[in-house]
Amino acid sequence: SPHLLSFAVILPHIQHSDLSYGKVKPGGNVRFDCKAIGEPKPKVIWMLPSKDTITASNERYLVHANGSLDIRNVKLADAGEYVCMAHNAAGKENKVYKLDIDGNPPIINGFNQNRTVLKNTAVKYTRKLIDCKAEGDPAPKITWIMPDNIFLTAPYYGSRINVHSNGTLEIRNVRPSDTDTGKYRCAAKNKVGYIEKLVIFEVIQKPYILTRPKGIIQGIFGQSLFLHCLTDGIQPSISWTMPGGFVLARPQVSGRYHLMENGTLVVHETVIHDRGNYVCRSKNDAGEAVLSVPVVIIAYPPRITNGPPPTVRRVAGVPVYLTCVANGIPTPEVNWELPDRSILSTTGKERPVGSELLHTQGTLIIRNPSRAHSGNYKCIAFNYLGRDTRPTYMTLIWPAILILLLYNCLPNVLKRLFQSPTFDN
């Protein structure tokens, strides 16, 4: 009878290994054993933490004939799960190995983000310390990179600049120069990682107030008062303190006060109580500059400087102009009291539209005067501080040339006219 051939097919089996978890320092080596048996002999494939697969050795990984995997010069990115996959015609079996890196990448001043930007200032000609505390496992090496691209590795001790062993950068006698002002980089490196901190460093000086008024500032009652406080310096904050103690600490509008971006204080619609000392303070990390500005508010009661004479004789039918000019702060309002004791003001509300009496900027105008307009007139100028008056008596007369003409041409009519009760009145 013919010979019968038989084949035994056995599922892959990965033998037990004492090492399914590894922990190694950066730069070290580690081996994961994966000896697989089965019929036919299983083929071994490794899947990396990156999900890539390898079946043969390369510069980083060594795959042995028995399936073991060597990882050489371990890096932080090598941490994770490695899967040994053994398979043949009968099936497959997997085994998971885990690798941890024994160490921590550097962190600087508690920050683990690279290129962390920090701002720092120093007063010129003083001593400045900039911290760069780096932590990690293994202990990181600290290097400061200067604005002129010079590398200083801790510890470093120079004539004016030191880098202490703890990473602190010391600059003595800080100067407002290009080499002192600029971008400084603190770098920390170990076998696990690298990190940088960027420090933008400015050399500042105490603010100086450029505007210094001489003497007392005079404000006009009711008008806006401008007090300037222009400063020279880096990043000064400007505040104004009012005579009553009220403080404006940033650009804003508060009631009648307006603090502008350039430091100018505006007081709108000034009153007498706005007088006193106004104090401007300009401050930064280097110090403070103070400016005290004394202010008086000018105001006085009205005074009529150009008014009508005590008596006025005018010709009937010819427009009459009675001038009344008054000075005062606040600017006084001018009214006229008429013979019938009524008041004519600039508002015109006391007289009907179309009246023969007009009032413009203190001048009383009677466009078509008659004898009925004769009588006592009074100019009244007033503001909240007081008032001033100027009275005048106005007499309206007929034109002399008309009287002579009537007297010569019509004597009888003229005589009767003068003798009539109407004329007498």
pTM beyond 0.95: the answer is no
* DSSP 3-state of 393: strand
Q: What is the pLDDT of residue 370?
A: 86
Q: What is the pLDDT of residue 60?
A: 86
- 316, 398 contact by CB (below 8 A): yes
Q: What is the pLDDT of residue 358?
A: 65
Comparing CA positions, the residue from 382, 378, 222 lying closest to residue 302 is 382
**How does pLDDT run along the chain (425 residues), one tens digit per residue?**
455 555 678 898 988 877 888 888 888 899 999 999 999 889 999 999 999 998 888 888 999 988 899 999 888 888 999 999 999 988 999 999 999 888 888 999 887 776 667 788 888 888 999 999 999 888 999 999 999 899 999 999 999 999 999 999 999 988 877 567 789 999 999 888 899 999 988 888 888 999 888 899 999 998 999 999 999 877 789 999 999 999 999 899 999 999 999 999 999 999 999 999 999 999 988 889 999 999 999 999 999 999 999 999 999 889 999 999 999 988 899 999 999 998 888 766 545 444 567 676 788 998 888 888 999 999 999 998 899 999 999 999 887 655 665 566 555 655 555 555 544 44
Tell me 273's DSSP state.
G
Positive or negative: CA dihedral 91, 95, 96, 99: negative
C-alpha distance from residue 257 to each of 158, 180, 263, 405 (Å): 53, 41, 12, 71
Q: How far apart are CA 126 and CA 156, in angstroms?
A: 20
Give 3-state DSSP helix, strand, coil % of the chain, rounded to 5: 10, 50, 45
Q: What residues contact 135, with CB distance under 8 A and at least 6 apart?
A: 104, 106, 107
The full set of domains in the chain, from first to last, is: 10-101 (2.60.40.10), 105-204 (2.60.40.10), 208-298 (2.60.40.10), 306-397 (2.60.40.10)
Give the other-Cβ count within 10 Å of 12's Cβ.
23
Q: How far apart are CA 94 and CA 113, in angstroms?
A: 38
